[in-house]
Structure 1
Amino acid sequence: MSFIEIQNEFMAHIRQPTKNAAPKGIEDRRLAIYRDLFFNNIEGFIASGFPVLKSLYSEPQWHTLVRQFFSEYNCQSPYFLDIAGEFINFLANDYTLKSYDPAFMLELAHYEWIELDVSIAQQCDTEQPLSQAQITTSPLYLSSTARNLSYQFAVHTISKQCQPTQPSAEANYFVVYRDNADDVQFLATNAMTALLLSIIDAADGLDFSAICQQVLAHAPQFNAEQIAQGALATLTAMAQHGVIVTKNQPVELY
């Protein structure tokens, strides 16, 4: 048997010891150390990244969930910091809710993960802060360290003592961003703010006028002046938080 075959056999056993036989020639006492080490490392990282989600489960239920992820999910990234994102992909695409899983499980997990995602996001070198005067004259972009989010459940209120069984009557909107001190901040917003930011995010570099025209198409109950006034106030606040930015424009050489 080749070294690679032995290595694959070893990892298959570590991930699913009840289904895959241990490699020959290695005593079980030594294998038990590896089984515990690998699983505990994964469990510890997921527990630290999803503390609220973990608090909703008994210890056996939580270990069953993490064990299923560890045993069955084929991670696409070898980097330790990517494990939380891989866990989200697992819940979204490969996991079937059990009777004791809350209906908001995926949304809560995503809300908890987004803090890590924003904290390690690389800021684009060409991004520049905006003054209020620049908002109406510059191309606008959503910052590379900001996320415009909406959830059916009020994920920010969920705890062991507060577990909604039905989605909220209206969507819950948030902006998560990294401030000037590199701290991650959560900001509750509303449908119009979310619409503004989604338009900016979907078409990088739109100017203020084009953004207002798109908002007007989505909200015909308002007139152009109302849209412009509201958009300017909202985008001014978002610029102060660093959620929207402009970018250095490339110099054209002739």
Structure 2
Amino acid sequence: MPRTAELHALQRDFAACIRDPARDELPPGVASRRMQVYRELFFNNVEGLLSSNFPVIRTLYAEADWNALVAAFLHDHRAQTPLFPEIGREFLRWLEQRREDGRDDAPFLLELAHYEWAELALALDEHEIAAIAHDVDGDVVSHVPVLSPLAWVLGYRFPVQRIGADFRPAEAPAEPTLLLLIRDRRDEVSFLEINALTAALIERLQANTQASGADVVAALLAEVAPANAAALQSAGEAILRDLQARDALLGTQPT
């Protein structure tokens, strides 16, 4: 066997031993005590990353159960990237596969994991508000609003923002949960629970390049609530101003 191929085979064998603590057969020349040190270091690093990426999920498990879940992730999943900031996405992919396989996870677990992952993903998003052309003091009602790329609408079957050790719903409620995740000018991430009308308004603002905020609201209301459009117009415009105050709307297109 060529030397390079021999080295790769040894590396794969070594990694397999780290992934599977129950494996007795060790690579040639590696003592059991030394392998155990590597196993513990590797496990503790990944466990720490997952605990910090998914703090709410961590509270749902007793220590032994959580460690078993992490061990199963290490044993079963083949990550597509070596980057530590991407481990949350890899864990999410693994949970998706578990659901497809019919594993007995909590029915809300995958959605909760996505919600926690999204918070970190938004915090790491490379968009810079300062690089986006906009008039921060512009009137988003009378002029063309500029939607922040750091404002994400998320939809879930479960109220993920409420789930914790004391609230673990067994069934999804009749109405879905819609959330607006925002990273503001101070790079702080927050969420806002929104209704379907606000979500539809944000979707229209994302595609809008010419109409004023008031016109976008009016066009939306003419479609979804024509009988009450005039009465709801002021409420829609108030939503625009609130979105601007939260930095979901950065301002208006510069004149």
Residue of structure 2 in register with 1:126 after alignment: 132
Structure 1 position 228, deviation (Å)? 4.1
Q: CA RMSD in A?
A: 2.6
Mapped to 1, the partners of 2:49 and 2:166 lie a distance apart of 24
Mapped to 1, the partners of 2:18 and 2:186 lie a distance apart of 41
1:114 aligns with 2:118: yes
C-alpha contact 1:15 1:70 (8 A) present in aligned 2? yes
Residue of structure 2 in register with 1:75 after alignment: 79
C-alpha contact 1:146 1:176 (8 A) present in aligned 2? yes
- TM-score, with structure 1 as normaliser: 0.83
Mapped to 2, the partners of 1:241 and 1:57 lie a distance apart of 34
Residue of structure 2 in register with 1:252 after alignment: none
Residue of structure 2 in register with 1:242 after alignment: 247
Q: Which runs of 5+ in 2 are unaligned?
A: none
> Deviation string for 1:7-63 (max 9, x for gaps)?
122112211243584211111111111111111111111112212212212223212
Structure 1 pair 70–248 and aligned structure 2 pair: CA distance change class (3 A): farther
C-alpha contact 2:146 2:250 (8 A) present in aligned 1? yes
- TM-score, with structure 2 as normaliser: 0.83
Mapped to 2, the partners of 1:69 and 1:162 lie a distance apart of 25
What is the letter of the counterpart of residue 68 of structure 2?
A: T
1:167 aligns with 2:163: no
Structure 1 pair 41–204 and aligned structure 2 pair: CA distance change class (3 A): farther
Structure 1 pair 44–189 and aligned structure 2 pair: CA distance change class (3 A): same
Instruction: Choose which of 38, 46, 51 in structure 2 pairs with 1:42.
Output: 46
What is the letter of the counterpart of residue 185 of structure 1?
A: S
**Identical positions, percent:** 31
Structure 1 position 225, deviation (Å)? 3.3
C-alpha contact 1:103 1:165 (8 A) present in aligned 2? yes
Residue of structure 1 in register with 2:199 after alignment: 194
Say which SS state the counterpart of residue 22 (structure 1) adopts.
coil
Total equivalences in the alignment: 245
Q: Which runs of 5+ in 1 are unaligned?
A: 250-254
Structure 1 pair 110–248 and aligned structure 2 pair: CA distance change class (3 A): same
Mapped to 1, the partners of 2:188 and 2:34 lie a distance apart of 42
